[in-house]
């Protein structure tokens, strides 16, 4: 065997190894993209479920008699979970994520204002529209947030 023949064999072997490695890399990239999509679907489902729980809690608060502090804490807890999942979603814009966060913040920092019936009804409607994946929900939430007096309680 000559030196040239040995070099040709090595080049062939390296091309085969490169091809196998390249194909494996493409497969792993495809699997990564698919798993990322699945994780985002799971996050989206959890976000929608938490919005549904929040809407149910708001309805329960509005229709209930007594034990309002517990029901308000349920609303706060459900909205907190929805807020957490909102920041994990890639299909929401940064402005939309901020609006969801501000809704949670208003519930947390300004309970006296948020417990007013008309504000809580507006909050419930905005949450239901967000759950239905309507952009009008973000507009309603933004309008509600703008009515909160952030300098006082």
Q: Is position 60 within any domain?
A: yes
Q: Is position 38 within any domain?
A: no
Orientation angle between helical segments 94-109 and 68-86, nearest 10 degrees: 160
Total number of domains constituting the chain: 1
* pLDDT (0 to 100) of residue 126: 92
Give residue 59's domain range: 46-146
Q: Is position 5 within any domain?
A: no
Separation CA 8–CA 138 (nearest Å)? 65
| Closest CA relative to residue 103, chosen from 63, 58, 70 | 58
The pTM assigned to this predicted structure is: 0.81
Q: Is position 59 within any domain?
A: yes
Q: Is position 104 within any domain?
A: yes
* pLDDT (0 to 100) of residue 152: 60
Q: How confident is the model at residue 153 (pLDDT cuts 50, 70, 90)?
A: low
Residue 32 has pLDDT above 60, yes or no: yes
Average pLDDT rounded to a whole number, residues 98-110: 92
* pLDDT (0 to 100) of residue 134: 81
Q: Is position 85 within any domain?
A: yes
Q: Is position 7 within any domain?
A: no
């Amino acid at each position: 065997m000559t030196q040239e023949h040995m070099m040709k064999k090595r080049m062939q072997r390296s091309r085969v190894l490169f091809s196998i490695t390249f194909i494996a890399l493409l497969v792993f990239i495809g699997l990564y993209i698919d798993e990322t999509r699945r994780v985002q679907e799971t996050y989206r489902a959890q976000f929608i479920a938490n919005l549904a729980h929040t809407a149910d809690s708001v309805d329960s608060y509005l229709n209930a008699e007594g034990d309002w502090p517990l029901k308000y804490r349920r609303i706060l807890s459900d909205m907190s979970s929805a807020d957490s999942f909102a920041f994990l979603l890639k299909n929401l814009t940064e402005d939309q994520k901020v609006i969801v966060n501000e809704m949670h913040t208003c519930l947390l920092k300004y309970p006296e204002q948020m417990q007013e019936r008309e504000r809580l009804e507006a909050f419930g409607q905005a949450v239901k529209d967000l759950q239905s994946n309507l952009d009008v929900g973000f507009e309603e939430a933004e309008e509600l947030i703008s009515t909160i007096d952030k300098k006082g309680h």
